[in-house]
Homo-oligomer: A and B are copies of this chain.
């Protein structure tokens, strides 16, 4: 199974690349292929120094969509519209949105688009044959990158197609100690995406680092 990461050279994309490439064939996308290749070289060297093999290719964002069976949109909310408007070929792809619409004011504030969530906005931007799920929203970039530490967090996953959601949950459960939870249809993304500004605020006000969530 090939995983394409759109925005694979960003903060979250880099960490995902290092966590996913020892487990799956990963196609790292970027606006500029050279940047994607540089991220792959960095990730390959980092993993090699730890004795880990990986499967990694640096490509354009469009190639990441074309070659991925699962496509992860590892982009900030403000880049969603410009990025997706330049890409095509999402039909029948499994697409994962970890995107959180938020702004840093005095603290982090959840600022959803008129659709109610980033995922519901992305659904309108993608062809209706795309199989969209929300996942990984609450895993901070620093946690993805700290590859010597396990990711012992709960991951709420939502989406409208049960088969797709099942495949995404399987993917989540293969990564470190992440545990996927079915949170319902895509519309519950309105309750999942506010978790991220919430935990960022909790980290700040309680002097903690990279707070995550566990359901139990």
What is the oligomeric copy number?
2
Alpha-carbon separation in the docked complex, A77 to B43 (Å):
50
Chain B residues with Cβ below 8 Å from A22 are: none
Task: Confirm or deny: A156 has a beta carbon within 8 angstroms of a beta carbon on chain B.
Answer: yes
Q: Which of B197, B205, B216 contacts A191 (CB 8 A)?
A: B197
Closest 8 CB pairs of A and B: A191-B194, A182-B205, A191-B198, A214-B214, A184-B201, A181-B202, A107-B184, A211-B215
Alpha-carbon separation in the docked complex, A195 to B205 (Å):
19
Q: How far is the CB of A134 from chain B (nearest CB, A)?
A: 12
- 17 A-B pairs whose Cβ atoms sit less than 8 Å apart in the complex: A107-B185, A109-B187, A110-B191, A152-B216, A181-B202, A182-B205, A183-B198, A183-B201, A184-B205, A188-B197, A191-B194, A191-B197, A195-B195, A208-B215, A211-B215, A211-B216, A214-B214
Q: Which of B109, B191, B197, B214 contacts A213 (CB 8 A)?
A: B214
Alpha-carbon separation in the docked complex, A156 to B211 (Å):
13
Known: A181-B206, A184-B205, A201-B183. A110 touches B190 (CB 8 A): yes
Contact A202 B215 (CB under 8 A): yes
Alpha-carbon separation in the docked complex, A212 to B213 (Å):
10
Alpha-carbon separation in the docked complex, A202 to B188 (Å):
11
Task: Confirm or deny: A70 has a beta carbon within 8 angstroms of a beta carbon on chain B.
Answer: no
Chain B residues with Cβ below 8 Å from A205 are: 181-184
Q: How far is the CB of A181 from chain B (nearest CB, A)?
A: 5
Who on chain B is nearest to A199 by CB? Answer: B215
Interface residues of A (CB under 8 A from B): 107, 109-110, 152, 156, 181-185, 187-188, 190-192, 194-195, 197-199, 201-202, 205-206, 208, 211-216
Alpha-carbon separation in the docked complex, A152 to B208 (Å):
19
Chain B residues with Cβ below 8 Å from A182 are: 202, 205-206
Alpha-carbon separation in the docked complex, A91 to B109 (Å):
29
Alpha-carbon separation in the docked complex, A155 to B15 (Å):
29
